[in-house]
Amino acid sequence: MNRIVLSVGLIAAVAAWGPARGAADELADVEKLVAEKNKEIRSARFKIKTVTEMVTEGFESRGQSEGHVEYVLKDGKWYSRAESKDRSEQKMGDQSNKMEGTSLSVCDGEFIWMMSDMNGQKSVTKSRATSDPIIVENPIGMMREQHNVKLLPEESVDGAACHVIEATPKDQGELAGRMVQYFRKADGFTVKVVSFSPDGKPMMTMNCTDIELNPKIDPSRFKFEPPAGVQVMDLTQQSAEPQSEPEQP
């Protein structure tokens, strides 16, 4: 998973809702409550599963990633950690390429470290952390900038009632498709996101489970030391020269 990005509204919150439906169910009210509730979330811990599938003429790509995410806002800085087991397969004609491994992304408040171990090949990159928040205070407002947004009938995800938001790109480009996001009514957390291809087929489905909001998280979880012998590509330097030599066979 890349920088947990959560900045596209994958992690957002809305106020607790009563059983009755009324004016508060209008999209404008939902947007306002989401923005207000987001300010209350300063840390989270949850499991995440993402499934991707893209099939076109002569090409197929499928993948699955399972792991967990932790993040904290402290002293105006975001700290995060995401670990996952990943596997994917691409087919083009008679050719097939399979990949399997693990991914780790750590933001220590100053740098973002990303380590992957795919098919036994390890690599690490280092880049500067930005001021972009992990939680966007007004995710629906952000969606409006480039999408037409509407409120769909509520649904249930893993037994929990959810408000459902649909975002359709204003620019109907060749690869543009709609996205549907599910906000759990009990605490407003985003528990599911589905992205669709232009022909309406699901391309990516993300589910969050075992959610803990505002837990205390050990600061050591956001520290990273590159493993000995693994090459580090330092993207904070203009030349992006490796910081250490790879282990000799």
Return the SS3 of 25.
helix
Over residues 223-247, the mean pLDDT reads 74
* Of the candidates 167, 173, 163, 164, the residue with the CA atom closest to the CA atom of residue 144: 167
pLDDT tens column, 83-110: 999 999 999 988 999 999 999 999 999 9
**DSSP label of 227:** P
Over residues 115-134, the mean pLDDT reads 87
CA 71/CA 44 separation, integer angstroms: 6
pLDDT for the residue numbered 46: 97
**b/e for 59-95, b at 16 or more Cβ within 10 A?**
eebebebebbbbbbbeeeebbbbbbbebebeeeeeee
**Given a cut of 90, is residue 127 above it in pLDDT?**
yes
pLDDT for the residue numbered 39: 74
pLDDT for the residue numbered 207: 97
CA 28/CA 133 separation, integer angstroms: 23
Q: How confident is the model at residue 173 (pLDDT cuts 50, 70, 90)?
A: low
pLDDT tens column, 181-218: 998 777 778 899 999 988 888 999 999 999 999 999 99
pLDDT for the residue numbered 175: 64
- Residue ranges of alpha helices (H) inside the chain are 27-38, 139-146
Return all residues near 117 (Cβ < 8 A) that are at least 6 apart: 101, 102, 103
pLDDT for the residue numbered 124: 96
**Given a cut of 60, is residue 134 above it in pLDDT?**
yes
Over residues 111-140, the mean pLDDT reads 86
pLDDT for the residue numbered 94: 85
pLDDT, averaged across the chain: 82
pLDDT for the residue numbered 155: 94
Q: How confident is the model at residue 68 (pLDDT cuts 50, 70, 90)?
A: very high
Whether 23 and 30 have beta carbons less than 8 Å apart is answered as no
pLDDT tens column, 15-67: 333 333 443 358 988 787 777 777 788 899 999 999 999 888 888 999 999 99
**Given a cut of 70, is residue 238 above it in pLDDT?**
no
